[in-house]
Chain A
Amino acid sequence: LAEWSREPFIAASPSRWELAPTARIRSTIGLTLRYFPRWVSQRGKIHPLETGDRLWGLALSLPLTAFLVVFFVLPLLFVVVFAFGGYDATYRPTGRFHLQYFADVWSSAIGTLFLRTAYVASGATLLSFVLSYPAAYYVAQLPRERREFFVMLLIIPFWTSFLLRTYALRTIFDSDGLANAILQALSLSQEPVFDTGNLASVIWAETYTFMPFMALPLYANLEKLNRAMLEASYVLGAGRLRTFLRIVLPLSMPGVLAGGLLVFIIAMGELVIPLLVGGVEGQFLVGNAIYERSGQQPGQASALGLLFMVVVFGIAYVYVRVVGRGGIRF
């Protein structure tokens, strides 16, 4: 393409028509393709010689863009159309829109559903923050070689199945699981202490499973922490606690923000962990409600899904605005 579009410049305009027909067609195509992208975007800003380069870049990214538009963006639009009744439960277009599906899900204790899910998700977010912050802080101040090893230890659980990590938790903390068996063997307690199948076990399992999502951004941030700041704080007479609260924590807020957002969003939509350890009570969460309706009631599932997206990204937006802008001070 680059070669084609170069031709007309060698053969100056008047003599272009004296070229052989094929060469003339080639140069016309070349010229069109060459100036077209410049014409559609940011007129005049790009040097003409870069347009071939731009076309090449577009060509390279076209397959993925097309793939994601067809199999990701388009399906998401279907959720919107289904939610407003554009298709019925037999997947046929209805040709009209209505709000019946929203009314259906609205009447089914939706407030409790969302509050409970938000409660579980924020519980898991807070716990994973509290539990992983010391670890991230400790690893970040190790010498480089040992740091790499610990970072690998943090990353590997990230890539082991969440399903299996949750399942493994259950073999330990079930009422007839290992933890209770050990307590009994040590005759510390004859009654089972641990049990799964309730809301608390969902929070703990999500905390455990999503911990890497919190620990890694925290670590990435704390690693860049300027040690001189700490020295300065100590020299100026602040104690360890004060230094932590006034210097370390505020400086690591971007990491806290990123990790918190990740864990919260993932925990809001989780449905596998509640199904495994939630019992009857713990399964009454938004993700599970969407899942239950997805087979027979695609319209209601889509309406719920749309509300869910609005709520999650609404919370995320407010959170980024408030915390990210320094709305919360320590």
Chain B
Amino acid sequence: LKLGHAVLAGYVAVFFVALYTPIGVLTVLSFNAGRSATDWEGFSTRWFESVVSDVRYTAPFWNSIVIGILTTLLAVVLGTLAGIAIARRPPGRLSFAWDALILMPLVIPEIIEALSIQLFYKVAGIPNGVLATVIGHTVFAVSFVALIVRARMGDLGKAYEEASMILGAGRIQTFVRVLIPLAAPAIIAGAFLAFAASWDDVVKSQFTTSLDSRTLPLVVFAAAAKGRISPLLNALAVVMVVISLSAAVMRTVAERRIGRT
């Protein structure tokens, strides 16, 4: 019995190490002084310097940031309103339909979503660009916000809202001064999720960006698909990972606050 447990624990250790090794290797190699992606030739930050000084990488970086922030804002507004509304509904046919509508963007394969929005844009005459990408990203990012806010508000129940209205606050006042503060940790967690989802997206971006609104993942994707592996690309990847990791960590912190309150 002891042996079996030791084997299991050993396997789990390997499992978790393996989960993080590739990104770790990538980070180490991005500090390689040489051109090779495998032979270590000394420590250097030259690849990071080229990344931050080359407009071929800085422009997509800012595109990604702008698209990510706009997506987050739109997703937070739409998702919070709907999340609160759905949580206060009794279960029924309509709330089932809403659930389905909100879950669908997460279930439908992204290539189908991307194809469909391309067809829609072309027919409607909406040009590709920052706004087109923001809308495309919001379709899936909003689901995260709505689901988290709904879960949070569903746990709280309607008591706070009723108390506030009995004490004489109107609906809007109750919404702004009671419901929003109660939902705040969930909204923040959802916001980081929405940003991370937009920041990492490849497929939707590929279909909706124009030449001068290309995002950072697309630059990495284009270079990597051509088979180039270079320390420069590694450095770019590390920049991306650092940002999405910080979003992931901040989200976890925000979510812990939900548990505490």
A contact set with B: CB distance below 8 Å: 1-2, 41-42, 53, 56-61, 63-65, 67-68, 71-76, 78-79, 82, 87, 91, 131-132, 134-135, 137-139, 150, 152-165, 167-172, 174, 176-178, 181, 208, 211, 240, 265-266, 268-269, 271-272, 275-276, 287, 290-291, 294, 298, 301-302, 305, 308-309, 312
* A residues less than 8 Å from B233 (CB atoms): 167
Q: How far is the CA of A317 from the CA of B22 in the complex (A)?
A: 35
* A residues less than 8 Å from B101 (CB atoms): 65, 68, 72-73
A-B contact pairs, 14 of them (CB 8 A): A63-B77, A64-B82, A72-B139, A134-B12, A159-B193, A162-B202, A163-B202, A164-B200, A208-B22, A240-B4, A269-B111, A290-B115, A294-B118, A294-B207
User: Contact size class for B?
Assistant: 35 or more
Q: How far is the CA of A287 from the CA of B113 in the complex (A)?
A: 12
A71-B120, A171-B26 known; A290-B79 Cβ under 8 A: no
* A residues less than 8 Å from B20 (CB atoms): 153, 157
A161-B200, A294-B118 known; A76-B112 Cβ under 8 A: yes
Contact with A along B11-48 (1 / 0, CB 8 A): 11001101111110110010000000111000000000
* A residues less than 8 Å from B213 (CB atoms): none
Picked from B85, B115, B171, the residue with its CB within 8 Å of the CB of A2 is B171
Instruction: Give chain B nearest CB distance to A320 CB in angstroms.
Output: 13
Picked from B16, B112, B234, the residue with its CB within 8 Å of the CB of A79 is B112
Contact at B224–A302, with CB atoms within 8 Å?
no
Q: How far is the CA of A172 from the CA of B116 in the complex (A)?
A: 36
Find the B residue at minimum CB distance from A91.
Answer: B122
Of listed A64, A73, A290, residue having the most chain B CB within 10 A? A64
Q: How far is the CA of A76 from the CA of B170 in the complex (A)?
A: 40
Q: Is the interface of A mostly helix, strand, loop or mixed?
A: helix
* B residues less than 8 Å from A290 (CB atoms): 111-112, 115
Contact at A156–B119, with CB atoms within 8 Å?
no
* B residues less than 8 Å from A132 (CB atoms): 15
* B residues less than 8 Å from A269 (CB atoms): 109-112
Find the A residue at minimum CB distance from B104.
Answer: A72
Contact with A along B69-112 (1 / 0, CB 8 A): 00000000111011011101100101000100110110111111
* A residues less than 8 Å from B245 (CB atoms): 156, 159-160
* B residues less than 8 Å from A2 (CB atoms): 170-171
How many interface contacts (CB-CB < 8 Å) are there between A and B? 233
Q: How far is the CA of A58 from the CA of B114 in the complex (A)?
A: 29
* B residues less than 8 Å from A58 (CB atoms): 85
Is B229 close to A, CB under 8 A? Answer: yes
Contact at B234–A87, with CB atoms within 8 Å?
no
* A residues less than 8 Å from B109 (CB atoms): 265-266, 268-269, 287, 308-309, 312
Picked from A152, A158, A172, A275, the residue with its CB within 8 Å of the CB of B22 is A172
* A residues less than 8 Å from B207 (CB atoms): 294
Instruction: Give chain B nearest CB distance to A140 CB in angstroms.
Output: 11
Of listed A79, A137, A162, A174, residue having the most chain B CB within 10 A? A79
Contact at B221–A305, with CB atoms within 8 Å?
no
Known: A59-B85, A79-B116. 7 other contacts (CB 8 A): A71-B135, A137-B8, A161-B240, A163-B220, A287-B109, A290-B111, A308-B112
Is B130 close to A, CB under 8 A? Answer: no
* A residues less than 8 Å from B136 (CB atoms): 71
Picked from B26, B120, B247, the residue with its CB within 8 Å of the CB of A168 is B26
* A residues less than 8 Å from B200 (CB atoms): 159-164
Contact at B237–A167, with CB atoms within 8 Å?
yes
Is B248 close to A, CB under 8 A? Answer: yes
Is B178 close to A, CB under 8 A? Answer: no
A72-B104, A152-B252 known; A168-B23 Cβ under 8 A: yes
* B residues less than 8 Å from A153 (CB atoms): 16, 19-20
Q: How far is the CA of A152 from the CA of B109 in the complex (A)?
A: 26
Find the B residue at minimum CB distance from A181.
Answer: B38
Contact at B22–A168, with CB atoms within 8 Å?
yes
Contact at B26–A272, with CB atoms within 8 Å?
no
Of listed A42, A161, A211, A266, residue having the most chain B CB within 10 A? A161
Find the B residue at minimum CB distance from A153.
Answer: B16
